Amino acid sequence: MEMNGEQQQKAKAYFTLGRAYQSKNQFESAIEYFKKAWEISKELGDKEEETKVLFELHDVVCVSNNQFETAIEYCKNALDIAKEQGNKEMETMASFGIAHTYQLKNQFKMAIEYFEKAREISKELGNKETEIMILFELVAACIKNEQIPTVIKYSEEALDIAKEQNCKEHETRALVEIGFAYKLQNQFQMAIEYFEKALKIAKKQKYKKLEAKALRGLGDVHHLECEFQTAIEYFRKSLKIAKEQEDKDLEMKVLCELATSCIRSNQVQTAFEYSKEALKIAKDHNEKEQETRALVGIGFVCLMDNQFQTAIEYLEKGLKLAEEQGYKELEINALDGLGDAYKSKNEFQTAIEYMEKVLKVEKEQECKERETNKGLQIAQKQGLRVEESKAREEIRVLSLMIDLDTHEDSNKIIHTSSTSAQKE
C-alpha cells in the first residue's frame, strides 16, 4: 500500500514535470515525462490519472510534431477508458479531441462524425455551453466539407441555444455563421440581413472581433454583387478592428479580399500594397493558404500593370504552393493568370498549355465531387462552368492567333522568295 502511494507520488511528479516542459515548448521532454506518468498510472490501474495523462499526450503530440495519427490513438485510448468507467464528460472530451485532430488532418467527414458523437453526449448531460461550442466546430467542419445546408442547420441550432441561454456573444457568432452560409449559397439578401443583425449586437455589446467578422461578411457580399467600392469600405472597417485586436488570421483574410476588390475597381497600386502586406503576415505566421492567395493576387496586380515577367514569377510561386497544398481553386486561378500573362507576351503556345491545364484541373475537380457524392456549392458550380467556358474560348482564340502568325510567316517567306527571284 505504501509502495502504491510512492508510485502515485512519482506519477504526479512526472506529470507536473511534463506540464512544466510543455509550458516552455520543450515538447520532447514533455512527452518523455508524460509517458513515464502514463506507464505508472497503467500499472496502478489508476484510470482517472491515466485518462488525464492521455489527454496531455494528445495535446503535446499534436502541437509539437503534427503526429496526428499518434495523437488520435492517445485520445481513442482515453475514450475507451471513459466508456469503461461510464464517465460521460471524459467521453465528450475524448470524442471532441479526436474530432479536432481529424479536422487538423483535413479529414472533415471523420471530424464531423466524432463532433456529432460529442454533441449527442453533451445533449444527454444537458450541458448547453459544451453543446453550443461543439455546434460551432461542426459548422467549421461542414463548411470545409462543403455541406452548406448542414452549416445553416447547425448554426440555427446554436442560435436557438444562445437565445435560450441569453448569451449575446454566441448569438452574434451564430448570426455571422448563418450569414456566411447564405453567402456561399448566393442568397445575398439573406446573408446581408444576418450580417447586419450580427453587426448591430456586436457594436452594442462591444464584441470587436465579431464586429470585424460581420463587416468582412458584408464586404464579401457586396464584392460578389460587383459593388466594389462599398465592399472596400466594409473591408477597411473590418481591417481596422482586426489590427486593433491583433487578429492576424482575420487581418490576412481581409487584406487579400481588399486587394481583390481593389483589382476589380482598377486601384492597382493599392491592391499591390494590400497583397504585399498580406504576404508578409502569411509568411511570418506560416499560413500557406493565405500566402498562396497573396502570391496569386500580386501576380494579377502585376499583370494589370503590364509587368508580365514579374506577374509570371509571382503566379508560378503561387501555383507551386497551391499544387503542394492541394488548394485547387487557387491552382486554377494561378494557371489562368499564367495563361493571360503568356498571351500578353504573345507566347500563344505556352498560353494554350496553361489554359489546357485549367481545363484538366477543373475536370478532375468535377470527377472528384461526383465520386465523393458531395456536389459543389451553387457559386462554385457556376464558377467552374464560367472558367471552363473561358478556358475553351481562350484556347480557340489563341489557336487562331497561332494559325494567323504561321500564315503571315508563310506569306513573308513567299514574298521574300518572290522578291529574290525577281532580283535575280
DSSP characters over 180-249: HHHHHTT-HHHHHHHHHHHHHHHHHHT-HHHHHHHHHHHHHHHHHTT-HHHHHHHHHHHHHHHHHTT-HH
DSSP state for residue 88 in the 8-state scheme: H
**The length of the chain, given as a count of residues:** 424
Query: How many angstroms separate the first and last alpha carbons of the chain?
Result: 118
Cell numbers standing for residue 335: 494557371
Closest alpha carbon to 157 in 121, 192, 133, 180: 133
The pLDDT of residue 382: 40
Cell of 333: 486561378
Write 334-342 long-range contacts (CB < 8 A, 24+).
334/295, 334/296, 334/299, 335/361, 336/387, 336/390, 336/391, 337/296, 337/299, 337/300, 337/303, 337/311, 338/312, 339/391, 339/394, 340/303, 341/299, 341/303, 341/308, 341/311, 341/312, 341/315, 342/312
Residue 335 near residue 350, CB atoms below 8 Å: no
d(CA 286, CA 248): 12
Q: What are phi and psi of 5, to 5 degrees?
A: -60, -40
Angle between helices 288-304 and 328-344 (to 10 degrees): 20
Q: Which residue has the cell 499560413?
A: 287
- Position 404 scores a pLDDT of 56
Residue 49, pLDDT score: 87
Asked if residues 387 and 362 have their Cβ atoms less than 8 Å apart, the reply is: yes
Question: CB count, 10 Å around CB of 11?
Answer: 23
316-344 per-residue burial string, b: 16 or more CB within 10 A, e: under 16 = bbbbebbbeeebebbbbbbbbbbbbbbbe
Is the distance from CB of 195 to CB of 176 less than 8 angstroms? yes
Fill in the DSSP letter of residue 369: H
Cβ neighbours, 10 Å, residue 97: 24
User: Which CATH number among 1.25.40.10, 3.30.470.20, 3.30.70.100, 3.20.20.70 corresponds to the domain 286-369?
Assistant: 1.25.40.10
* Domain ranges for the chain: 286-369
Q: Residue 87 in 3-state DSSP? A: coil
- The list of the chain residues with pLDDT below 70 reads 1-3, 63-65, 366-424
**Predicted pLDDT at 164:** 96
Report DSSP state, residue 374. -
Helix 348-371 and helix 378-423, axial crossing angle in degrees, nearest 10: 160
Left, alpha or beta for 344 (phi > 0: left; psi -120 to 50: alpha)?
Answer: alpha
